[in-house]
Structure 1
Amino acid sequence: MVAPIGLVNNNPTATNTSNGTDQTSKTAVDYQSFLRLLIAEMRNQDPTNPMDSTQYVAQLASFSQVEQSVQINDKLNQLLQSQSLSQADALIGRTITTADGVTGEVASVKLYSDGIIAELRDGTQVVVGPGITIQPTKPEAEADA
């Protein structure tokens, strides 16, 4: 009987290209290892005492689950990357205020595997996370009034 093989836990927030490649290769290795293990077991089974058909079906079901899990992880990563890009785009041109009082208009946004960093017009970089207030930027005429 084959012991179950654990899946690599992909980081769902990975947006870094090199990090995503590393995660994909680790998952592919586990997937390939499972296939090699299944084939080796089938080759080395005792011909006088073949594998029970229920065990074979259970292993095929496990194989199918591994394959589906890999595909689901890939799709979730794509979805999370898309969501992060949408959130970052929505920040540009808005005014953000941190919990410690730093305020400014967002000029650009950088996406990292662990979050979003907003760069304000004055060059200050702010990690976008809990405690951040986001507001529409007031036009120049209203700001002076």
Structure 2
Amino acid sequence: MTTSIPAGANQSSSAQSKAMVDYNSFLKLLIAQMKNQDPTQPMDSTQYVAQLATFSQVEQSMQANTKLDQILQASSLSQATSLIGHSISSLDGEVSGIVKEVRVFSDGMVAVLESGEQVLVGPGISITAPPAGDTGPATT
């Protein structure tokens, strides 16, 4: 079985570190703003709290998106492995055969058949279970 790691699989850690950099930058700017404000006309403390709360919401949304991306990647890999050994037919019916391997990309999956032909896994394809008693492709 061959599966490719989706493009962008390593982006979650860089997105997290970027979020932390942005969060740290925000805090530094907030502290600089507090230090350099005019003492005779200080900024209202509720404005600080509102800025911090808004930024916290954005950070939480970014973390939720990262988790959703991880769930989608795991789902794609699970779906890919379940196709191996099954019979698949393309949308137009011109390409069909038994799935030998599945290649997972960031924008979808491609099933490689025993004949070497490739079928884009997407809407309209036909997938059937292997015959009873067949446990999938033979391994050598």
TM-score (norm 1): 0.73
What's the offset of the Cα at 1:32?
Answer: 4.6
Runs of 4+ in 1 over 6 A off after TM superposition: none
Moved more, 36-45 or 91-100: 36-45
Q: Where do residues 65-80 of structure 1 align in structure 2 (5 Å cutoff)?
A: 65-80=57-72
**Equivalent pairs, count:** 128
Q: Letter of the 1:34 partner, please give it.
A: F
Unpaired runs of 5+ in structure 2? 135-140
Unaligned runs of 5+ in 1: 1-13
Give the secondary-structure state (helix, strand or coil) at the position aligned to 2:73: helix
Matched, 1:107 2:81: no
Structure with more relative contact order (C-alpha pairs < 8 Å, separation 6 or more): 2
Distance 1:36 1:129, change over 3 A: farther
Percent of pairs with identical residues: 57
For 2:109, the aligned partner's letter is I
Q: Contact 2:16–2:63 (CA<8 Å) still a contact in 1?
A: no
Structure 2 residue aligned with 1:133, among 99, 118, 126? 126
TM-score of the pair, normalised by structure 2 = 0.75
Question: Alignment RMSD, CA only?
Answer: 2.6
Give the corresponding residue for 1:56.
48
